[in-house]
Amino acid sequence: MSFDYLIIGGGISGIHIGALLSQHGKVIILEKRHEIGGRARVEHVKGFKLDYGVHPIRFGPQGALGESLLELNRSVSFVKPGTSWAFLNNGKKTVFPTGGLMAIVRSSMVPFISTLKLLLKVKKMEERGFQELYNTSLEDWFEQENIRPELRKFLIMTSSAIQVNPFPERSSAGELLHNIKRVLEIGSIYYPKGGWESIFSQFIQSIEKNSGVIKTRSEVKEIIIENGKAIGVQLNDEIIKAAEIICTIPVQKLFSILDESLCRKNFIKKCKNLRPTAGISIDFLLDKKISEIDGMIFFEEPLSFGFIPSNLSPEITPENKSLMSFLQIVNLEDITDRNRADELYQEFRKHISKFFPKIDTYLIEERPLFLDMVDGVEVNICQHQFERPANQIEGISNLWLCGDSVGGEGAGGDVGHTSVRKCYNKIINSDV
């Protein structure tokens, strides 16, 4: 059987682009696991619908994801979080300024006038201004601009949340400022009512309506290339052919299914050496609500963040129960050393219980995750959006790349969604 579009990977990027392409032709999505979802999969535990750790959505209906839902005539109810809080080393908590004037006034974390000045400056900056700083680290930029220490702390925390990079020595100043401008212009994060399942279900309904096929337990072993053109894929015991092949697996793994000798050396090196973000995630399933916080929660030390998705969408837990999720981004090297990872987890957990001691009283279950890949790519000075692989590979036609490790604005799922839309538009236009 032959298809118009064959998609490798049933994570959010694969399901997203599958829904879009199913409007234009016959789609098949191949996922190696027994379930779809990838790093955004949802697990059902004791009546709780558990996203894969902290999973709000940057820009919700205003971003690339929202654009696709609109195009597909599908809708997800996005809930806007309330006030975000920072828990500081001195044991106190203060409002975390997320851009709004009132939040800056109410926060004891930042000096009012200089924060306002900085945000106004960023709002006025043009694309060229950001691009000039893409290769500059946050640390170097602080020195260049003589940024005050309190503002530095706020910007590092913002970098950890917006671009999932708490490391100022390699976080890209240009990309951070660009992302802050996007927050100021189109809003911050949202949470989908009903959790991530509601997003997957909207895309799946579109795929099914257009007679698309989603096959789980179907691992692609090789992308078949003939005379420089992708023509199909090899599974364990069958070959499936398609006019266009779209690969959504993180590019670090691309050469497990694509013959290296077909690609240029610098492209291979770029893909293999791309640094992902790594982290420790902890979800607490609680017997009752222990905090009313409905915005993000930031910790100063260890630099980390979290939120309480059930305060935004109570449907994801059984009645009157609560789900709290936290994430600490760490160096990949730390997560691969099991003892070090365990040490970091114990410290992180102790820190969370210091500020939320009732967690231990009402704990039903705890899910720690040690992740060697949170986002497909760490947004940093060496691999900002213009340095990452693009949607096509030189010398191979009819093969497309998208997902959260290729070029695209933002970080994590945001990169995935923007890269999907970019790739989709190119495929559709190349068909015409």
**21 part of the interface to ligand FAD, by CB under 6 A:** no
What is the biggest distance separating any 2 CA atoms in the chain, rounded to whole angstroms?
66
**207 part of the interface to ligand FAD, by CB under 6 A:** no
Instruction: Work out which of 248, 311, 322, 391 binds ligand FAD, going by CB under 6 A.
Output: 248
**Site track for ligand FAD across 65-104, x = CB under 6 A:** ----------------------------------------
Instruction: Work out which of 19, 20, 28, 39 binds ligand FAD, going by CB under 6 A.
Output: 39
Instruction: Work out which of 3, 6, 10, 283 binds ligand FAD, going by CB under 6 A.
Output: 10
Instruction: Work out which of 168, 187, 232, 250 binds ligand FAD, going by CB under 6 A.
Output: 250
Instruction: Work out which of 95, 416, 424, 427 binds ligand FAD, going by CB under 6 A.
Output: 416
Instruction: Work out which of 197, 283, 409, 414 binds ligand FAD, going by CB under 6 A.
Output: 414
Instruction: Work out which of 22, 172, 188, 281 binds ligand FAD, going by CB under 6 A.
Output: 281
3-state SS string for the chain: CEEEEEEECCEHHHHHHHHHHCCCCCEEEECCCCCCEHHHCCEEECCEEECCCCCCEECHHHCHHHHHHHHCCCCCCEECCCCCEEECCCCCEEECCCCCHHHHHHCCCCCHHHHHHHHHHHHHCCHHHHHHCCCCEHHHHHHHHCCCHHHHHHHHHHHHHHCCCCCCCCEEHHHHHHHHHHHHHHCCEEEECCCCHHHHHHHHHHHHHCCCEEECCCCCCEEEEECCEEEEEECCCCEEEEEEEEECCCHHHHHHCCCHHHCCHHHHHHHHHCCCCEEEEEEEEECCCCCCCCCCEEECCCCEEEECHHHHCHHHCCCCCEEEEEEEEECHHHHHCHHHHHHHHHHHHHHHHHHCCHHHHHEEEEEEEEECCCCCCCCECCCCCCCCCCCEECCEEEEEECCCCCCCCCCCHHHHHHHHHHHHHHHHHHHC
Instruction: Work out which of 6, 19, 57, 335 binds ligand FAD, going by CB under 6 A.
Output: 57
**19 part of the interface to ligand FAD, by CB under 6 A:** no
Which of 55, 181 has the CB closer to ligand FAD? 55
How near is the Cβ of 28 to ligand FAD at its closest, in Å? 11
Using CB under 6 A, which residues numbered 350 to 389 contact ligand FAD? 371, 374-375
How near is the Cβ of 202 to ligand FAD at its closest, in Å? 16
**32 part of the interface to ligand FAD, by CB under 6 A:** yes
How near is the Cβ of 425 to ligand FAD at its closest, in Å? 17
CA distance 42 to 40: 7
Which of 30, 263 has the CB closer to ligand FAD? 30
From residue 50, give the alpha-carbon distance in Å to each of 42, 55, 411, 412, 414.
Answer: 5, 10, 21, 18, 20
Q: Tell me the window of 90-98, 136-144, 155-163, 248-256 that interacts with ligand FAD (CB under 6 A).
A: 248-256
**412 part of the interface to ligand FAD, by CB under 6 A:** yes
- In contact, 206 and 74? CB cutoff 8 Å: yes
Q: At how many degrees (to 10) do helices 138-145 and 149-162 cross?
A: 150
Interface with ligand FAD: number of residues (CB under 6 A): 38
Instruction: Work out which of 127, 219, 259, 365 binds ligand FAD, going by CB under 6 A.
Output: 219
How near is the Cβ of 115 to ligand FAD at its closest, in Å? 24
Instruction: Work out which of 5, 20, 22, 31 binds ligand FAD, going by CB under 6 A.
Output: 31
**7 part of the interface to ligand FAD, by CB under 6 A:** no
Instruction: Work out which of 26, 28, 49, 55 binds ligand FAD, going by CB under 6 A.
Output: 55
Using CB under 6 A, which residues numbered 312 to 341 contact ligand FAD? 327
Residues that bind ligand FAD (CB under 6 A): 8-14, 30-33, 38-40, 52-58, 219-220, 248-250, 257, 281, 327, 371, 374-375, 403-404, 412-414, 416
